Structure 1
Amino acid sequence: MQFKKIENTDVAEQLTPLLHRAYAADVKLGIHFAASSVTVEDVRKHIESTPTFVLEDDDGTIIATTSVRLPWSDNPGPFGLPHLGWVATNPDYQQQGFSKEIINWVVTNYVQSALHTPAVTIGTAADHPWLLSFYQSLGFKVIDITQKPNGPRAAYLISIFDEHRTSLIDDAYLKKALSRQTLSVQSLRD
């Protein structure tokens, strides 16, 4: 198996159905993440504008994927920090820890090493039955829960590597969310 950054949009043909299959369980729960219905063209555009990573099996089959939305891109995350998105595991490989592996690899080998950022964020549906606790098990902490227009309540989580440098980021939403970080998840949900 190998981790790699996607450099060619041709992989969109393989990545699109993986995203649809991986997010199908969420759709059954009534949670519709954008990745659940993307087109091949959407995935090509995403790869061109957003660093996208995969974990491949020895035969080139994509096992897991995630991407990193950059604060200075056309599709930034909610805060002035890199934001993980499109976290998905091929259903044929689920329940084996591959989402954890790709998240940890991307955070260590790209977000921290290449971007030298003091923190990274990730989001999920606040009422998802397992994703919030999964991200928390990876060291992410809930910093905000907000109602999305025409969508589910979103939970935003952060993993901070350098608290001082994170506090210096000039982003009003981040500063407000961090000031409330001491609130419990339950109080954020209320």
Structure 2
Amino acid sequence: MITNRFIKKNEVKELQLLLHEAYKSDTQLGINFQAARVTLQQIDEHIENTATFVTEINHTIVATVSVRLPWSKNPGPYAIPHLGWVATHSQFSKQGYATQLIDWVEKEYIQKQLKAPMVSLGTAVEHPWLKRFYTSVGYQPVEMVQKTPDHLTVYMVKVLNRKFDQLESEQLKKYLNKNKTKVRY
């Protein structure tokens, strides 16, 4: 049975194992995402302050995604929800679990509960397929920044509200830059 849900507090260790396993191949590419080396304490703090979702199959967590909010301790770059820690355990990769969980989180949480018009995420430009994957599920690149020495980050946005559907990438970038998250903790 496949279930999408919020993570439980007692699943910190299982989430750490999933993240470390899922991000191992990125580290081998020289891309050092923070999730690849996250500690149990950091995960505990993360799920305390960030909506974190999982896909569970027969009592095993196989995929995860978190939603960072503009008013949280760890906001995304814009004043809209921001996806992070998108991961699928390598034993379950290429079966669509991350895609399905992202879609479910966008519809059930970001649209229905938060009523947000769009959502963002960031990924490494140097990664061989992540930008292409996110583009295939509706995200468009709007900005690139050098946040870490090992990779260039591309911020991508997906429009969830038809009011914003016709915005071209440059217009969207202007809108988002006017609405950047200014408060950092």
TM-score w.r.t. length of structure 1: 0.85
Judging changes above 3 Å, is the alpha-carbon distance between structure 1 residues 176 and 109 closer, same or farther for their aligned structure 2 residues? Answer: closer
Root-mean-square deviation (CA, aligned residues, Å) is 2.1
**Distance in 2 between the 1:24 and 1:161 partners?**
31
**3-state SS of paired residue (1:36):** helix
Pairing 1:12–2:2 present: no
CA distance in 2, matches of 1:37, 1:103: 22
Secondary structure of the residue aligned to 2:155 is strand
Instruction: Name the count of aligned residue pairs.
Output: 172
What is the letter of the counterpart of residue 84 of structure 2?
G
Structure of greater relative contact order (alpha carbons < 8 Å, 6+ residues apart): 2
Structure 1: gaps of 5 or more residues? 167-172, 180-190
| Residue identity matched to 1:14 | E
Shift of 1:175: 2.9
Find the counterpart in structure 2 of residue 62 from structure 1: 61
Tell me if 1:99 matches 2:95: no
Cα distance in 2 for residues equivalent to 1:151 and 1:104: 29
> What SS class does the counterpart of residue 44 from structure 2 fall into?
helix
CA distance in 2, matches of 1:56, 1:112: 22
Uncovered stretches (5+) of structure 2, i.e. residues with no partner: 166-171, 179-185
User: In the aligned structure 2, how far is the partner of 1:76 from the partner of 1:151?
Assistant: 22
Contact persistence 1:79–1:174 (CA under 8 A): no
Q: Deviations over 1:54-84 (max 9, x none)?
A: 00002x1001000000000000001110000
Question: Which secondary structure does the structure 2 equivalent of 1:128 belong to?
Answer: coil
Report what 1:77 is aligned to.
76
| Large movers: runs of 4+ above 6 Å | none
1:138 aligns with 2:160: no
Q: How does 1:29-178 map to 2 (within 5 A)?
A: 29-58=29-58, 60-162=59-161, 164=163, 175=174
Relative to structure 1, is the Cα distance of residues 33 and 149 closer, same or farther in structure 2, using a 3 angstrom cutoff? Answer: closer
What letter is aligned with 1:37?
R
Question: For residues 13-59 of structure 1, what are the alpha-carbon distances to aligned partners after superposition, in whole Å with 9 as ceiling and x for unaligned?
Answer: 1100110000000000000000000011111110000000000002x
Judge conservation of contact 1:80–1:174 (CA < 8 Å) in 2. Answer: no
Residues 130-165 of structure 1: CA deviation (Å, up to 9, x unaligned): 000000000100111111143410001000123647
Q: Please give the TM-score of this superposition, normalised by the length of structure 2.
A: 0.87
**In 2, are the aligned partners of 1:31 and 1:152 still within 8 Å (CA)?**
yes
Partner of 1:148: helix, strand, or coil? Answer: strand
Q: d(CA) in 2 for partners of 1:157 and 1:178?
A: 13
d(CA) in 1 for partners of 2:176 and 2:78? Answer: 9
Q: Secondary structure at the match of 2:31?
A: coil
Write 1 or 2 for the structure with the bigger share of strand.
2
* Kept after mapping to 1: 8 A contact 2:144/2:155: yes
